[in-house]
Structure 1
Amino acid sequence: MYNIRMHDFMKDIHPVMQALIATCFTWLVTALGAATVLFAKNINKKLLDGMLGFAAGVMIAASYWSLLAPAIEMSKDMSMPQWFPPALGFLMGAVFLRVIDKILPHLHLGFPMQEAEGIKTSWRRTTLLILAVTLHNIPEGLAVGVAFGAVTACLPSATLTGAVTLAIGIGLQNFPEGVAVSMPLRREGLSRLKSFWYGQLSGIVEPIAGVIGAAAVMFSMPILPYALSFAAGAMIFVVVEELIPESQKEGNADIATMGAITGFLVMMVLDVGLG
């Protein structure tokens, strides 16, 4: 019912504005997760690892049902092998994130300063923690934006309901991400308000990436299969390189794994049942 009401609200709005509204929603959910730091300094580690696993499961499911499957379908009538556009786009998305990962200074949650990645810098630990979460919010915003831009192609595999469903799924997994960045900042000594502020700020890149993604595919429809699979490749990179290792780092592998299974199942049901 919620999905239907949201669909009716969005259908008469320009696709770029749709992408902006949807990614502002995902940003808001990040802020809600970050707001938990206003009431508690710590969160049970097993719970957090389960939530990170859930986020990983959602992203894996969304990468296939909302991005790769439509990209494969759209490539059916192209002059090249059907597998080529989604395969190339997927690889480009992963490589793009890998390059940014090597350049942008950042520090994954729970790791010591000497394991900071990217170009060497004197930036504070808190800044590097924020940048780590900001980095993997880029493909999430891009995925939602591309999905809304794809609706203008009027293809059966790219629907407004599917794009709305993807935004809801990304929003669901953004809550634990907001928690995962604000709580460590609080433990680093920042005030509750500052921890919340920087936690929600890590999600601001999603509306920016969403608008860019929607506009790009609208102005150049031939790149649509590549753009969808690009977003999928970038999201899978984040899952494998960051979310899964972080969720299992403290020895809670079983809880994190079941969280991932649950997240995958929830996103699959949303996408197949509503999309």
Structure 2
Amino acid sequence: MATEENGHASCGCKGIRSCLICEKTKGIRSAENNGAPERNDFKYEASSGLAVRWSDEGVQQSFPFPGVLLWEDFVSEEEERDLVTRMDQDAWKESQSGRKKQDFGPKVNFKKQRVHLGTFSGLPAASSKLVLRMQQHPLLQGFQPVEQCNLDYNPQRGSAIDPHLDDSWLWGERLITINLLSDTIITMSMEEGQGELGQEEVRVRVDFPRRSLLVLYGEARHRWMHAIHRQDIHQRRVCSTYRELSSEFLPGGEQEALGSQLLRIALSFQGVPL
């Protein structure tokens, strides 16, 4: 819940970030209109692996969009209820852009590239069976998460997350997210001059159904920014994102010893949110 500050509800926004709470109380103008769907946005087709759009003249334009795995119905309705119930038994902390979060992972300073164990006690117990299930997929064999972040999105707070690339110094190749409670859309984007269509900014909208699992890897992980825009949150959405270690922290890497210690803690599945 948002706390009260000078008689007004507060939030976790900092810098240029904003949500409906601070926009109302502080008179901030939202930049979220930039995330509104556009007629010429591409849509990802999971069956073909293509990003597709249609021109006003009815001409199809497409290009390969590798690096996305969508695993629908990864969890059952009963599992979904149990997972969200367990999350709600723990405290949610205010986060930026109208989100709330629960962190299960080491304390990291990405700018200085430092990792501290702090009070990290592992991933939550409920994730143990989910990780075993993930590992059954050929793409996810050997996946060992060292960090889990639960996020709570709500349209009443104007929840969103800006386009970004996840860190690749600490976090490894595969980013996994389980989507709960409602459908949403992940918007992949590449800035002008960087994409498939020359100077035009390219955006690809990826449908992300409720109870499904999404993996970003390869080009979708390293070249394309990903975001969830306010317009694509229609009711409460809860998700869990899992990250693995980069090669620097795995056997043979410079920080193998630290990586081994982090994994031993993470995979004890005795964690409480930090």
TM-score with structure 2 setting the length: 0.23
Q: Point out the structure with the larger strand share.
A: 2
Name which structure has the greater RCO, CA cutoff 8 Å, separation 6+: 1
Larger Rg: 2
More helix by share: 1
What TM-score comes out, normalization by structure 1 length? 0.23
